[in-house]
A and B are shown apart, each in its own frame.
Chain A
């Protein structure tokens, strides 16, 4: 049970990152490698501020803001200087590795002795419930801390989802979605698609960094390596989420993306439990994304060939 709860909690925190990947990759058709760097950036900024006794809320938001800035940098490189989108992301990601080390001063900052959003949530819950050690969830005794973290993660995700849902149905949000769909039309209707992309990449990386900041607080440390492979992880979750809802209706897709994140995290937790080598995880994730992205095209080509053969 605690395995399930911890997987779901991490799934919720990572869902913010997945949402960011969904925005760049699906809405803007932009493969944004900044993701790996801004995830660790959010964690690094939050961790350093936390150890300096800044309130966890501000520390977390500062992490997200740093991610926005990183995304904006990538967007500027791409739209104003004309650097290829992939390269712009790689450049910023690589630079961020050094920046993150500079920010933290070392490769790993522990957060066990400072208050975090998680400990705040736990205190709040203890206050409300009269400080039990464990709570019963579906008949299982679960540590209060785990439940508080889960509820916190779910709460943040629901709030962000609602915000995203409202935003993407405003004039600006609609124009941003249309930019990925048909940029020529959006320009012909009077919007600067460069600014649309810039704003989209900034928002997405803000979410990614927020995700990193929260995860660092949950696991009790920030590490310069923790963003490694995040983009691919996010792509895998987006693909699973889209397969779950099978529609392009905005609200459902947003929910699907979160479900994809949790389900993928659960699958990984179960696979690890069954004895999968943790070191193979990234390889398997990458293969999964490759197969999921290419399989539909391959199948279509196969059936078309079969159709042609039938006609002959």
Chain B
């Protein structure tokens, strides 16, 4: 169970390009929840995921995962419990190492790295079996460098690696944004399969209204570092892509109103 309370983060505080990336985000969800996060560019989605993963120190707030306060934990320590797939397909794998070597690291995410042989026969057999389940024909290429694979193949492997040891929380940040539509569809289907099979607690950022409408059992919309909509259960099930677009349009209108009001004030008083 994840509980994030009053998360705040300001980048470049005190300088002219100060940004309130997280402005008091409070969010809680139960085990097995699949939460989709949408919002305009710069609304703080990636910052929220980064905060949960421990990429930077928060200015305020606290994060509890399964009853443990992990607010001060560094990335590598949280990694025992949190799996991640990045937007950039090159970020999640070590390009100069083979598929098998990458997988072997992922298979030990919850333990310390010791002096056991990295690639035993048994582990290899397991790798072949799991990689075959991706249906990408990669099981015959376990000893190829990952750098020689396509972005979609690497992203599918990253997903496999992030969920190899069952994470208590899975963070997906636009993990299909850099892929062509067909590959994106494959990776999304895979995501759904793995999340359903292992009942993973998942937080997924996306810009695709289609994905946002079809996936997950809850949706939050962010704007300027805050959660402005939180749509659950029955309402989420009925939500269609068009409804979402409408909500984005609302945000845009308010934004425009704000801007014109500011203009008005400026012309009056400045």
Q: Which residues of A come within 8 Å of B, CB atoms?
A: 167, 169-175, 177-178, 181-182, 184-193, 248
Contacts and interface: CB of A to CB of B under 8 A. Distances in A.
A107 to B, nearest CB: 41
A174 B115 contact: no
B114 A174 contact: no
Contact of B117 (A170, A193, A248): A170
A171 B113 CA distance: 5
A210 to B, nearest CB: 21
A33 B235 CA distance: 62
A175 B105 contact: yes
Contacts of A169: 117-119
B79 interface: yes
Contacts of A184: 86, 91
A189 B106 contact: yes
Given A169-B118, A186-B105, A191 B95 contact: no
A188 B92 CA distance: 8
Given A189-B105, A189-B109, A193-B76, A174 B118 contact: yes
Given A171-B108, A248-B145, A185 B117 contact: no
Given A189-B79, A190-B80, A248-B145, A181 B97 contact: yes
Interface in B122-167: 145, 161-162
Contacts of A191: 76, 105, 113
A187 B93 contact: no
A92 to B, nearest CB: 26
B97 A171 contact: no
B92 A185 contact: yes
Interface in B70-120: 74-77, 79-80, 84, 86, 91-97, 101-102, 104-106, 108-110, 113-119
Interface of B: 53, 74-77, 79-80, 84, 86, 91-97, 101-102, 104-106, 108-110, 113-119, 145, 161-162
A192 B162 CA distance: 17
A185 B109 CA distance: 11
Contact of A181 (B84, B94, B117): B94
Contacts, number: 85
A192 B108 CA distance: 13
Contacts of A178: 94, 97, 101-102, 105
A208 B162 CA distance: 38
Contacts of B105: 171, 174-175, 178, 186, 189, 191
Given A170-B114, A171-B114, A171-B116, A182 B95 contact: yes
Given A172-B115, A192-B76, A177 B109 contact: no
A174 B92 CA distance: 16
A184 B75 CA distance: 9
B33 to A, nearest CB: 22
B118 A187 contact: no
Given A189-B161, A190-B110, A171 B104 contact: yes
B94 A182 contact: yes
Contacts of A177: 94, 97, 101
Contacts of A186: 76, 94, 105
Contacts of A181: 94-97
A171 B118 contact: yes
6 contacts: A169-B119, A171-B117, A175-B113, A178-B102, A185-B93, A190-B77
B121 to A, nearest CB: 14
